[in-house]
Structure 1
Amino acid sequence: MDTIPIYSLRPSDVFEALSTSPEGLSSGEAVLRQNLFGTNTLAQDASKPNWKKLLGHTLHPLAGMLWIAGSLAFLLREPVLGTVIWLLVLTNAGFSFWREYRTEQAMQALSKLLPVYTQALRNGAPEMLEAREIVPGDLLMLAEGDHIPADARVVEAYGLRTNNAILTGEAIPARKTADASLRDGLSDVERPNLVFAGTSVVSGTGRAVVYATGNLSQFGRVAHLTQVTREDPTPLQLELARASRLISLAAFGLGGLVFIVGALDVGLNLYTAFLLALGIIAAVIPEGLSASVTLTLAMAGQRLSQHQVWIKKLSVIETLGTVSTICTDKSGTLTQNQMTVQEIWASGQNWKVSGVGYEPQGDLIPQADKPLAQTALQLLLSAALSCNNARLNRPDLNHPYWAALGDQTEAAMRVAALKSGLDGEQLAQILPRIHELPFDARRKCMSTVHRLQPNPGAAWLLPWLEQPSPQLAFVKGAPKEILELCTQIVNENR
């Protein structure tokens, strides 16, 4: 790779510096680069082997005391008592290990339930690839709602803005440009022509060439820092350790007192008095306290996972248990973050839209006993479907419900158009998009320009064009701004 900073190059020079092209990588070259740079995943610290975890449950201080007590019982030729004490330790250890193991398996399922895909150019054609397959030199195709899988240099941008909060903490979207950045004193995260793994596209579209993946990305460096940071014991763990020490001291004190009283006052022989004291110590030591707490937290973690709440560490549940009040924004209601079009107005007529969520199942029900303005409705929904960047994801084995990528309002408009019977792919063939002006806070609207193809399926559109033209623009946005642009209204009853 070139030693010149990638952000200081012109877009045309970026492809040469990263040994790629505007058509993207070939499949063969992508395989070679994956062998060279590795997969686009974050390296995880090697987890502790299961045998070490099990050993940890059997050798903590309280268990150690019972191991010693059991050994003393065997030395005094009381194998039954020693066996019972040791079985108690092993049973607690095995039960704690099994429940913790089951909970960890449920937590690890999170990565399997949320596979990440991205769109990139391979062999000159767009392909949906797993994020882990992305390599330096890949040409990403970015659109509103996309999650960016790797650090990349923007080479084409149309109103592109990204949410970098995961790296910078800034909630305001950052504007991105394809121009070279020559200003001194800026960090990579502040460069306007770089996008980063873990961030997402808030608005606009663009293309970017990947230059860093996995642990070499900005997100990977942050993740590495979190892995090497030492984790301190939680308040509950400190309190449990303190309580266990106090109870253990009390157990030994009580055992010593019983031994002395039994030997000197009651008249028991030293052997019998010692066995009695040993049994009391074994009974009073809270060896199962740690196991009980771990078991309780593990059961809570499994119950939460059944409700799609994933806990990375059991100690998080302890913190969750101290929550007394949950503050929610706005009205205080919790929703599924899915919008639905419920009513449509066109050419003086109303339609009710049935169905909820993003599943394109439902009907458009007219609310008047007069000739239906079907053409006006078709025009309106064609505009809603064409001037739209949202995408719908069908249910699969891991995601049993319909989901959307992109703006929620646009997703709702797309679903309403599909409920009317419009075919998105067919409409894209009739009216292919040739340009886009993304939503802007100043304009308060979004515009797309389309080329009207000579297609029999477009015959219904021609009578409504004031001047037949090979190009057509659709605009959507705030009502005030849209109405100010209008000079006529479609009215089939004129």
Structure 2
Amino acid sequence: MNDIETWHARAAGDVVTYWQTSLTSGLSTDEAATRLQQFGPNKMRELQKTPWWQRFFAQFQDFMVLVLLAATLISALLSEFTDAITILAIVFINAILGFMQEYKAEQSVLALAKMTAPTGRVLRNGTIQKLPAEVLVPGDLLVLETGDRVAADARLIESYNLEVEEAMLTGESLPVKKAADKVYLPQTPLGDRRNMVYMGTNVTRGRGLALICATGMRTEIGAIADLIAADKKEETPLERRLDHLGRWLVWGCLTVCAVVVFTGVLRGEALFLMCLTGISLAVAAIPEGLPAIVTVSLALGVQRMIKRNAIVRKLPAVETLGCTTVICSDKTGTLTQNAMTVTSIVTAENEEILLTGTGYDIKGRFIKDGRNIEPDASPSLRQALLIGAICNNCQIKKNEVAISGLWRKQRDKGWSIEGDPTEGALLVAAAKAGIWREQMEKQLPRIGEIPFETFRRRMSVLCRDERGE
């Protein structure tokens, strides 16, 4: 294993010594410029773009499409211009649909670069500076706080109640508690490396100081981008069957043509006339509507996948997914939406109240004994929701924008949270009852906080009420 893969197996002091970084002043501007020249910018490698016309004409390389093009040429030579135009139109519709899907998939791959942090706060020349993520280099000291998106793969030097959400890499919905003093075996899986933070992940709690060890395509997310961009042509089951059908049609049509010509000549018909008749029958036997039906069906499947935020690079891949009978998932959380939801509350009066709704959408109902109730009807329920909202550092967002005021009344899609998923679930449950943390904190301002600790198994806040107590 190389150094980039085993930073988690080294003590923090050894990593600092390796990169020759000062913990008090960080890198100098000159040293950072030298390393930027050596390691390159901290961004995803731009894909080599294929000209649009090459991608378009590549849609005509399928064997069945070549058969249809041959049928178009033959129909034109036989003066069957209506058939020729019809077949040609079908072929071009197929090509346009395939071209547009590949174009959208390419844009999705390029969008992966936008998931990385646009800026990062690092210690340079003895001061904390906010710099574009692409100029960060190995050896930079990365300053992390709640809400930050990690700008590069880094080894933790200091951590204070630091928790990082790594769902994009591991599939786990719960944040991972980090510890700078840990050292692990080289073969430790990525999800268990508590002394590392990775590009594109989010800090949900605490703060820390980390030494950047890998940037750009050398990061874990860079490896994912490489896998996505790899163009390994492998035929899908549908493509193999269509190719097989196309070859049978060609041989079948040639056989029909030969039989018709041979039979007609034996009966004394003109050779040229019988050749035209045989060719006409062969062209008529080709199901020119088949590719159109297949393409439209696959395109409908792609549209359904897009609505679920799934990237489909090739149309036939939808059929391959439909043939899947077994999905092997590595660990819990991989197939979830990375969103926690409160579904049931047991109050201090031992009442169980159910909540409807999924994800972080603030739309939901409170149900007790099979009937809808108002949260205000149960003082203990409202008190529980109020505590969940106040003892909370999370924030509800609408389309990635923090929501406050009248905008909260919008109940369509696009809700998300910034912070710990557990706290987000509690905050959303309170919002369903019309209790908003920002509003409550104006009435009950926070004057103290004790962060969550494992041995306490709780987080505590101290607030001042309207009477000043």
Question: TM-score scaled to structure 2, two decimals?
Answer: 0.67
1:100 equivalent to 2:103? Answer no
Distance in 2 separating the partners of 1:67 and 1:142:
61
Change (3 A) 1:461 1:308: same
8 Å CA contact 1:152, 1:211 repeated in 2: yes
8 Å CA contact 1:23, 1:122 repeated in 2: no
Partner of 1:436: 451
Distance in 1 separating the partners of 2:135 and 2:448:
30
Partner of 2:88: 90
Partner of 1:367: 377
Q: Secondary structure at the match of 2:396?
A: strand
Change (3 A) 1:309 1:410: same
Q: Give the AA of the match of 1:293.
A: V
Partner of 2:405: none
8 Å CA contact 2:42, 2:216 repeated in 1: yes
Partner of 2:458: 446
Q: Give the AA of the match of 2:305.
A: L
Change (3 A) 1:80 1:107: same
Partner of 1:139: 142
Output aligned runs, 1:228-307, within 5 Å.
Answer: 228=230, 230-265=232-267, 267-286=268-287, 289-306=290-307
Q: CA deviation at 1:242?
A: 1.1
CA displacement 1:428-486 (0-9 Å, x = unmatched): 974254x6344x3xx47133577x8xxxx666463xxxxxxxxxxxxxxxxxxxxxxxx
Q: Secondary structure at the match of 2:79?
A: helix
Change (3 A) 1:248 1:286: farther
Distance in 2 separating the partners of 1:431 and 1:12:
40
Q: Secondary structure at the match of 2:299?
A: helix
CA displacement 1:304-355 (0-9 Å, x = unmatched): 324545434323310333367999999xxx9994525886857x79999999
Q: Secondary structure at the match of 2:316?
A: helix
CA displacement 1:37-78 (0-9 Å, x = unmatched): 66654335435433223323335444445655666777xxx4
Partner of 2:427: 414
Q: CA deviation at 1:171?
A: 10
8 Å CA contact 1:353, 1:365 repeated in 2: no
Output aligned runs, 1:445-464, within 5 Å.
Answer: 445-448=457-460, 460=467, 462=469
Q: CA deviation at 1:238?
A: 1.1
Q: CA deviation at 1:178?
A: 1.4
Gaps of 5+ in 1: 463-494
Distance in 2 separating the partners of 1:413 and 1:168:
24
CA displacement 1:218-256 (0-9 Å, x = unmatched): 332354356447332112211111111112101100011
Partner of 1:178: 180
Change (3 A) 1:114 1:396: farther
Q: CA deviation at 1:274?
A: 1.2
Instruction: From 388, 391, 407, give the equivalent of 2:395.
Output: 391
Distance in 1 separating the partners of 2:134 and 2:289:
43
Q: Secondary structure at the match of 1:283?
A: helix
Q: CA deviation at 1:367?
A: 3.0
CA displacement 1:406-436 (0-9 Å, x = unmatched): 4444223334666446537758974254x63
Change (3 A) 1:122 1:174: closer
Gaps of 5+ in 2: 367-373, 402-411
Q: CA deviation at 1:193?
A: 2.3
Output aligned runs, 1:136-215, within 5 Å.
Answer: 136=138, 137=140, 139-141=142-144, 143=146, 148=150, 150-158=152-160, 160=162, 176-179=178-181, 181=183, 189=190, 192-197=194-199, 206-215=208-217
Change (3 A) 1:427 1:323: farther
Q: Secondary structure at the match of 2:319?
A: helix
Distance in 2 separating the partners of 1:222 and 1:307:
20
Query: Bigger shift: 230-239 or 243-252?
Result: 230-239
Partner of 2:79: 80
Change (3 A) 1:286 1:6: same
Q: Give the AA of the match of 2:284.
A: A
Higher relative contact order (CA 8 A, sep 6+): 2
Partner of 2:314: 313
Distance in 2 separating the partners of 1:307 and 1:187:
33
Fraction of identical pairs, as percent: 24
8 Å CA contact 1:157, 1:207 repeated in 2: yes
Distance in 2 separating the partners of 1:235 and 1:95:
22
1:404 equivalent to 2:404? Answer no
Distance in 1 separating the partners of 2:149 and 2:229:
23
Change (3 A) 1:299 1:141: same
Q: CA deviation at 1:98?
A: 1.5
8 Å CA contact 1:106, 1:302 repeated in 2: no
CA displacement 1:269-295 (0-9 Å, x = unmatched): 111111111212222234554454233
Change (3 A) 1:19 1:295: farther
8 Å CA contact 1:390, 1:410 repeated in 2: yes
Distance in 2 separating the partners of 1:279 and 1:65:
14
> Which structure has the larger Rg over C-alpha atoms?
1
CA displacement 1:4-50 (0-9 Å, x = unmatched): 98664646984994768779999999999889866654335435433
Distance in 2 separating the partners of 1:204 and 1:360:
26
Partner of 1:481: none
Q: Give the AA of the match of 1:217.
A: T
Partner of 2:407: none
Distance in 1 separating the partners of 2:229 and 2:338:
33
Q: Matched residue pairs, number?
A: 432
Q: CA deviation at 1:84?
A: 5.5
CA displacement 1:98-141 (0-9 Å, x = unmatched): 112333455456576996475853687797x9977876536252
Distance in 1 separating the partners of 2:203 and 2:160:
12
Distance in 2 separating the partners of 1:396 and 1:202:
15
Q: Give the AA of the match of 2:101.
A: T
